[in-house]
Amino acid sequence: MKVVRLLMGLTLAAILFAQCTKDDLTDDMQEPVLKGAELSGMYTVTVENVSIPYDYFESGVQPVPEGKTSPGPALPGESYQFSFHAGPQHRLSFGTMYGWSNDGFFAFGDMGISLYNGDNPVTGDITSMVQLWDAGTEVNQEPGADNPHNGANVTDGMVMQMLAVGDGFNYGSVETNLKVTLNYDGNNRFTVTVDNLEGSKTPISPVVWVVHYANQTPLFTEGEMDYGNGLEEVAESGNPELLASYLDMHSGYVSPIAPVLWVLHNKKDKPLFTKGMADYNSGLEILAETGNPEPLYQSLMAAGYETGFEAMPAGSAENGPIFPGQKYVFTIKGEVGQSLSIATMLGASNDVFFSTGDKGIKLSNGKAGKDITHFIELYDAGTEVNEYPGAKGPVDAEEDGTVQTLKDVNDGFSWPEAPQVIRVTIKQNV
Ligand SMILES: [Ca+2]
Ligand SMILES: [Ca+2]
Ligand SMILES: [Ca+2]
Ligand SMILES: [Ca+2]
């Protein structure tokens, strides 16, 4: 589903770009819109984060037991395996039905588990972090293959640990039924194996999983009613579809945009970088790797440029990056014919930044706001090795590269297109 949506998004973007080439738009920008207007003035620039604000990072379902070719339960002696990406800021939650129960499921605590211990990925046997839960959506009956599982529907029950329910039935301990192992594959990728042990008392259902953030309870909240997003179906029938599609709709890459640096210059100058050449070592590396524009700003000031940066989101009293729905608004004093370059870090990256390119864009007359997003591209500073988008690990690796568009880097990752994250408009104040 997500693949389809992503492809649709890319197709749409391709169509939009196909309608006008960069040169057409540059020509248009050079055309004075207001004949006879003042040839200098203030411009207001607005930089917005237009990303879709997904709640979670990644999600999925593994419906096929290892070694099988079609979806189905994992019987005793069988297992499920699934892989995902995560950084130190992420947590993992999953759910799988205790098949021979009415509404029992195995899961971590409601906030999931951390995947890093300081700088080190967590690996090994994590079975002790798994518990058996009662979804609170069906009256319990004796677990087991030969017992009826036609308990009455419950509409006001709470999700609780089975141990706390105290129904008197013997489900076996988690350790006698399951073994859950976490493996680190490198490059921010983990693989989880859920072994349904030979001596297990029950089959288990396809595993639904989600990689999320701290303080989120994506599958359930202990002591509260089921959310109605599909966990009831997982816990009562082992059907993962509803929950998996809900999580899929709410999972994806989201990045903040860092404070925006701007500089005015002559059209022949390339004050920020030269495409295809190493970073000038005047502050772009810091901007691209940490989001801090100040060292680059200081260098440009020292070199005599008209420059500045905006670090305070509109309507906020504190400096910080802009998240989806937020924007920076700032004013620059420029002259028609001067070039404007901007640079701002794509927050959830190693050294990727948005820029108008090494030549910048030409300021023109016109009090109507112009959307200049089509001049903005994502660049890689060539100073830190890229990692899986949004799952940056704790250790950084120096990169001895050149500044180039992210497209030209070809790092094999699927990054967003610039207009999926940023919108930049400029308006001349008359
Ligand atoms: Ca129950
Ligand atoms: Ca029910
Ligand atoms: Ca570096
Ligand atoms: Ca890089």
Tens digit of pLDDT per residue, the chain (430 long)? 333 333 333 333 333 333 333 333 333 333 333 444 455 589 999 999 999 999 999 999 999 999 999 999 999 999 999 999 999 999 999 999 999 999 999 999 999 999 999 889 999 999 999 999 999 999 999 999 998 889 999 999 999 999 999 999 999 999 999 999 999 999 999 999 999 999 999 999 999 999 999 999 999 999 999 999 999 999 999 999 999 999 999 999 999 999 999 999 999 999 999 999 999 999 999 999 999 999 999 999 999 999 999 999 999 999 999 999 999 999 999 888 899 999 999 999 999 999 999 999 999 887 677 999 999 999 999 999 999 999 988 889 999 999 999 999 999 999 999 999 999 999 988 7
Which residues fall inside 5 Å of ion ligand 2, going by CB? 137-138, 153
Ligand nearest, relative to CA of residue 226: 2
Ligand nearest, relative to CA of residue 382: 4
Q: Closest Cα partner for 93 from 107, 78, 76?
A: 107
Ligand nearest, relative to CA of residue 380: 4
The CATH class that applies to domain 16-53+254-429 reads: mainly beta
Q: Which amino acid is at 126?
A: I
Cα-to-centroid distance, 150 and ligand 2 (Å): 10
Cα-to-centroid distance, 11 and ligand 1 (Å): 46
Which residues fall inside 5 Å of ion ligand 1, going by CB? 103, 134, 138, 140
Cα-to-centroid distance, 145 and ligand 2 (Å): 19
Task: State the Cα–Cα distance between residues 426 and 257, nearest whole angstrom.
Answer: 18
Give Dmax (Cα) for the chain.
89
Ligand nearest, relative to CA of residue 152: 2
Task: State the Cα–Cα distance between residues 97 and 234, nearest whole angstrom.
Answer: 6
Domain boundaries, the chain: 16-53+254-429, 58-249
Task: State the Cα–Cα distance between residues 69 and 412, nearest whole angstrom.
Answer: 28
Query: In angstroms, what is the C-alpha Rg of the chain?
Result: 27
Ligand nearest, relative to CA of residue 105: 1
DSSP β-bridge partners for residue 265: 339
What would the two tokens of residue 254 be? Answer: 């989201």
